[in-house]
Chain A
Amino acid sequence: MKKTAKIKWADFNKEIADDNYYYLRSCIRQNFFPGSEKAFLDILRHNLHKTIFDDASHTTCAGIGYHADIVTFETLQTIAARHFSLMNERGIPSAVVSCITSFGIYSEILATWEEFPEEKEKIRAYLKKATGREFEVPENVVHSCDIIYKFRNEIAAQMKSPLINQKTGKPLKIVDHIGCHYSKMFPERGVGGAEFPKVLTGMITAWGGETVDYPERRHCCGFGFRQYLVKSNRSYPMSNSKKKFESMAPYKPDAILANCPGCTMFFDRWQYTLGQIEGKTYGEDGNGIPVLTYEELAGLVLGYDPWKLGMQLHQVDVEPFLDKMGVQYNPDDKYKGLNGKYINQPDFSGCLKV
């Protein structure tokens, strides 16, 4: 049994590479928050002047399959090894992972290889046999929210709209939700450890907002992999998310900020579903609580157009939050395609059909 070093996690900072990254995309985010990954690259390149390589050749990490138990650990490790090999080919030492479950998987694999070097050799042989590739472990593997956290003050310096309610002049109240696989398995891989990671609250406060603690803050969103993927199991994820909404609602948060693709999507969708089933909403005036990715929040702070950030893909309307922030946007452009082309629009948005 390994004893943990006697550290105060609140003071803990992990190593986050400064520049020259290899981007590993997320399946869920590409589907549901495509604008966030685009914004991440734009912020890095144009606002922070960093180099990041976006490779067509990487694939899914198969993490959803792995945690739904249809993908073996050996397959999972070999896919990761292939990604490391792609990085080696480009000579890029630092990986930035867009998905929390992928990040958790890379963390698990690296920890396994450290403890069982023979497992790494086994995978080396698998990869060689399957693809002819060789690989070395990257120097630094972080989540993309770590990068935004690291440069939060640089972003603050370019801020166009701080997280201040323009009507009241008070800081906007934002609750955070950290994806379970960010650091619950490996506290040393999260900024601030496992219990109270600072990675999102650090952004919120750096940009003028206020963070709120709530009793079920550390509870899982309820994704549960197989518990969501199979339709007849979906009361499990919904009831877990509901537990969280009930717990945060009394604090009247202006938004939820999450760092996990699944959590962000589920908080958005379950508020709609609960609205449809129970007629109950958790935000103000029959709205849900807007759920944001950290790139969306950074993008808004930096003055990006909310529709270019893809915020029209949210089910819960984000406009109340944009209005509080004083973000300029054209409501008529919300559902327009490229070059203003009309491409239909949803039957309705929000949690309830008004």
Chain B
Amino acid sequence: MPGELYERISQDIRFTEGLTACMNCGICTAICPAAEFYDYDPRSIVTTVQSGDEKTLKDLLESETIWYCGQCMSCKTRCPRGNCPGQVIQVLRKVSQETGAFTKSRKGRQQLLIKDTVGKNILKYGYCIYPATAYPEKHPEQGTVWKWVFENSHEVYASVGGNYQGKGPGTLRKIPREALDELHRIFEYTGGINLFNKIEEHSRKKALELGFRKENADPDMEVYTRFVENEQ
């Protein structure tokens, strides 16, 4: 029976955009990079959501499955009904984070890590990715050249016409204070900060549940973060 969760999911306009009604042809799964890599089937996710069954939806929101998609949106190109399973996934992930269901799965718990890196970069610097926080030890795949750039960033960027942390326009300029303030207020007024808080709050609960506790009984988020980073 469709219940509260289905209501929540179907209120998101991306759900209206992303799913007309699926005829189960499998054209999305056929070219889905995640389906080739994980035990993942976007078609069956869509069928599950389409069923509207509350219990099944709850299980789905708590599952690893919804975190496999890479949001390349290749599914949208091919669907003969113009659906976009990737968009359905976006909505499921949003509801999973709002309700705390994401902390039930290993991959879901990783949202904390993303909030603490990309989320922080956005608010602090106005960039999603920032040279000063792309640490070579966290990014061994970035290679030896990146390590050189990282260690000599000001000189390297200057040598190719950059304006790293400088005033005025240009590559990697410092985002002006007023612009950053506007960005902050946008996050505040549009539910952006609220989502960060939700992720933090549910992660703290999970940390306590797993016994990651400081002496003052607060959750030990440093230990929890390392746990989530290394969970297999």
Contacts and interface: CB of A to CB of B under 8 A. Distances in A.
**Are A and B direct contacts in the complex by CB distance below 8 Å?**
yes
A82 B232 CA distance: 41
A181 interface: yes
Contacts of A71: 119, 122, 192, 195
A158 to B, nearest CB: 20
B17 A112 contact: yes
Q: What 8 A-B pairs come out closest when comparing CB atoms?
A: A224-B70, A75-B192, A38-B161, A64-B128, A346-B148, A220-B72, A35-B160, A310-B160
Nearest to A63: B128
Contacts of B155: 337-338, 341, 343
B147 A347 contact: yes
Contact of B172 (A30, A77, A79, A226): A30
A169 to B, nearest CB: 32
A180 B32 CA distance: 12
A70 B148 contact: no
Interface residues of B, number: 96
Given A64-B128, A75-B186, A310-B160, 6 more contacts: A38-B161, A63-B128, A69-B94, A73-B14, A236-B34, A243-B36
Contacts of B188: 130
Contacts of B128: 27-28, 60, 62-65
B105 interface: no
B222 interface: no
Nearest to A273: B141
B115 A70 contact: yes
A71 B117 CA distance: 13
Interface in B191-208: 191-192, 195-196, 199
16 contacts: A1-B20, A25-B171, A28-B129, A34-B161, A64-B128, A65-B122, A68-B114, A69-B111, A70-B114, A130-B189, A185-B76, A226-B107, A232-B230, A236-B37, A315-B143, A343-B152
B17 A31 contact: no
A231 B138 contact: yes
A79 to B, nearest CB: 6
A74 B191 CA distance: 7
A186 to B, nearest CB: 9
B50 interface: no
Contacts of A184: 72-74, 76-77
A37 to B, nearest CB: 5
Contact of A308 (B70, B126, B160, B183): B160
